[in-house]
């Protein structure tokens, strides 16, 4: 009933190959973009922007990057936090050292530095796979932790190790209110999502997926493993680096090296696992889940507790968060390894037929 595809005939290849071939999908995406860019800034309050929307948008971008590497190319990476840190600190270094540095240039500098480091730490992937590669990327994480705490150049020789930025603006448009910050991040994320979707639909994406599925067979049919793996690391790290710049500049404002610790890497990995490995849409679902769940638990658990007559302390909520996260990850890996995106895809497939049985 919702997806009546009668009369939707494609008459050229361009129409056939578009990202959203079904007209209803195009309308839905247009509506979502309208809500995201117009309705939400008008309706949401400051807390909603700062605590939910901005982290959600930035983590979606980071998850897109991680998904390209882990989901599409199959290279397990536990160093995403380090790439975010590299992006953030290199952008900070360029931003603060040159008076009047444009924000976009600093953003690109952060992304490109993260890309360079990503390629460097992606070289082990040419020799090792799976768990061993995870350990090699973990080395990247710890190396970056050490570098940003010890090497004063990155923090502009700040005595405390904590750095801050202020006065962000884009071509004269000051990014100083939560609504503007949200719009800036959303614009960049939509661009990155479009870029990522087109990459994974094209030849390079198919190369990545071939490497993921069976890399020996891929090499046999003529896909160069080095090119495919390193390009996955490069694109992924660039996106994650940009997300790191946004996380530090726009969301945190003031940060220390611990903001990009191993916990951040795990968080990104959990986002792509829960959202759906190898799915662009899954990155958004996973990010929404991870951002909203702790806050929702904070509100919902005491309410549920009071229904059964228990007072739930703040410590208990914090412990419950960990327990529920762990349980959910285990459940997803067993029951639905393809995550929330797969659940949505199944739902959509049913909706395309509903109410008819076939």
Question: Does residue 101 touch other proteins according to CB under 8 A?
Answer: no
Report helix, strand or coil for 257: helix
Question: Does residue 343 touch other proteins according to CB under 8 A?
Answer: yes
Q: Report whether 76 contacts 137 (CB < 8 A).
A: yes
DSSP one-letter code for 162? -
Q: Across-strand partners of 254? A: 164
Q: Report whether 100 contacts 41 (CB < 8 A).
A: no
Select 202 or 253, whichever has its Cβ closest to other proteins: 253
Q: Which stretch binds other proteins (CB under 8 A): 49-57, 201-209, 210-218, 231-239?
A: 49-57
Report helix, strand or coil for 12: coil
CA distance 70 to 72: 6
Return the residue of 314, 326, 330, 353 that touches other proteins, per CB under 8 A.
314
Question: Does residue 313 touch other proteins according to CB under 8 A?
Answer: yes
Which runs of consecutive H residues, i.e. helices, occur in 202-261? 203-213, 215-220, 225-246
Q: Which of 265, 249, 278 is nearest to 94 (CA)?
A: 249
CA distance 84 to 262: 11
DSSP one-letter code for 254? E
Backbone phi and psi for residue 347, each to the nearest 5 degrees, phi listed first: -60, -40
Q: How far from chain centre, in Å, is Cα 168?
A: 22
Binders of other proteins in range 163-182 (CB under 8 A): 164, 166
Question: Does residue 17 touch other proteins according to CB under 8 A?
Answer: no
To other proteins, the closest distance from the beta carbon of 223 in angstroms equals: 34
Select 105 or 300, whichever has its Cβ closest to other proteins: 300
* CA distances for 253 relative to 54, 166, 176, 259, 316, angstroms: 12, 7, 11, 11, 30
Binders of other proteins in range 190-219 (CB under 8 A): none
Number of residues that bind other proteins (CB under 8 A): 45
Select 18 or 162, whichever has its Cβ closest to other proteins: 162
Return the residue of 8, 162, 169, 306 that touches other proteins, per CB under 8 A.
162
**Phi-psi sector, 192: left (phi>0), alpha (psi -120 to 50), beta:** alpha
Binders of other proteins in range 281-300 (CB under 8 A): 292-293, 295-296, 298-300
Return the residue of 24, 37, 40, 48 that touches other proteins, per CB under 8 A.
48
Select 195 or 292, whichever has its Cβ closest to other proteins: 292
DSSP one-letter code for 72? I
Contacts with other proteins, 217-246, as mask; x by CB under 8 A? ------------------------------
Which runs of consecutive H residues, i.e. helices, occur in 247-279? 262-275
Return the residue of 40, 51, 147, 329 that touches other proteins, per CB under 8 A.
51
Question: Does residue 47 touch other proteins according to CB under 8 A?
Answer: yes
Q: Which stretch binds other proteins (CB under 8 A): 21-29, 190-198, 218-226, 252-260?
A: 252-260
Select 76 or 84, whichever has its Cβ closest to other proteins: 84
Q: Which stretch binds other proteins (CB under 8 A): 86-94, 128-136, 159-167, 204-212?
A: 159-167
Return the residue of 24, 50, 190, 219 that touches other proteins, per CB under 8 A.
50
Q: Which stretch binds other proteins (CB under 8 A): 5-13, 15-23, 47-55, 109-117?
A: 47-55
Per-residue exposure over 28-63, b if at least 16 CB sit within 10 Å of its own CB, e if not: eeeeeeeebeeebbeebeeeebebbbbbbbbbbbbb
Residues that bind other proteins (CB under 8 A): 45-48, 50-52, 145-146, 149, 159-162, 164, 166, 252-259, 261, 292-293, 295-296, 298-300, 303, 313-315, 317-319, 336, 340, 343, 346-347, 350
């Amino acid at each position: 009933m919702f997806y009546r595809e009668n009369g939707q005939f494609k008459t050229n290849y361009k129409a056939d190959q578009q990202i959203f071939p079904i007209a209803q999908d195009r309308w839905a995406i247009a509506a979502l973009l309208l809500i995201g860019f117009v309705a939400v800034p008008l309706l949401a309050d400051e807390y909603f922007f700062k605590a939910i929307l901005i982290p959600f948008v930035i983590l979606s971008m980071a998850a897109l990057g991680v998904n390209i590497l882990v989901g599409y190319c199959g290279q397990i990476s536990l160093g995403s936090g380090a790439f975010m840190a590299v992006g953030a600190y290199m952008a900070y270094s360029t931003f603060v050292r040159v008076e009047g540095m444009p924000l976009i240039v600093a953003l690109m500098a952060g992304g490109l530095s993260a890309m360079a480091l990503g390629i460097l730490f992606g070289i082990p992937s040419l020799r090792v796979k799976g768990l061993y590669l995870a350990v090699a990327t973990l080395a990247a994480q710890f190396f970056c932790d050490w570098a940003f705490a010890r090497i004063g150049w990155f923090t502009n020789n700040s005595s405390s190790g904590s750095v801050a930025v202020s006065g962000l603006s884009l071509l004269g448009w000051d990014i100083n209110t939560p609504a503007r910050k949200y719009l800036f991040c959303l614009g960049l994320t939509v661009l990155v999502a479009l870029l990522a979707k087109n990459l994974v639909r094209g030849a390079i994406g198919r190369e990545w997926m071939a490497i993921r599925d069976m890399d020996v067979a891929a090499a046999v049919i003529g896909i160069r493993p080095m090119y495919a793996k390193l390009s996955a690391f490069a694109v992924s790290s660039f996106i994650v680096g940009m997300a790191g710049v946004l996380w530090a500049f726009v969301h945190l404002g003031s940060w220390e090296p611990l903001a990009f610790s191993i916990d951040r890497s795990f968080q990104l990995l959990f986002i792509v696992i829960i959202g759906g490995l190898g799915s662009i849409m899954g990155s958004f679902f996973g990010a929404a889940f991870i951002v909203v769940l702790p806050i929702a638990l904070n509100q919902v658990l005491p309410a549920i507790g009071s229904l059964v007559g228990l007072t739930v302390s703040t410590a208990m909520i914090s412990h419950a968060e960990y327990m529920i996260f762990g349980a959910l990850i285990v459940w997803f890996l067993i029951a639905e390894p393809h995550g929330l995106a797969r659940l949505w895809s199944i739902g959509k497939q049913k909706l395309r037929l509903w109410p008819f049985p076939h």
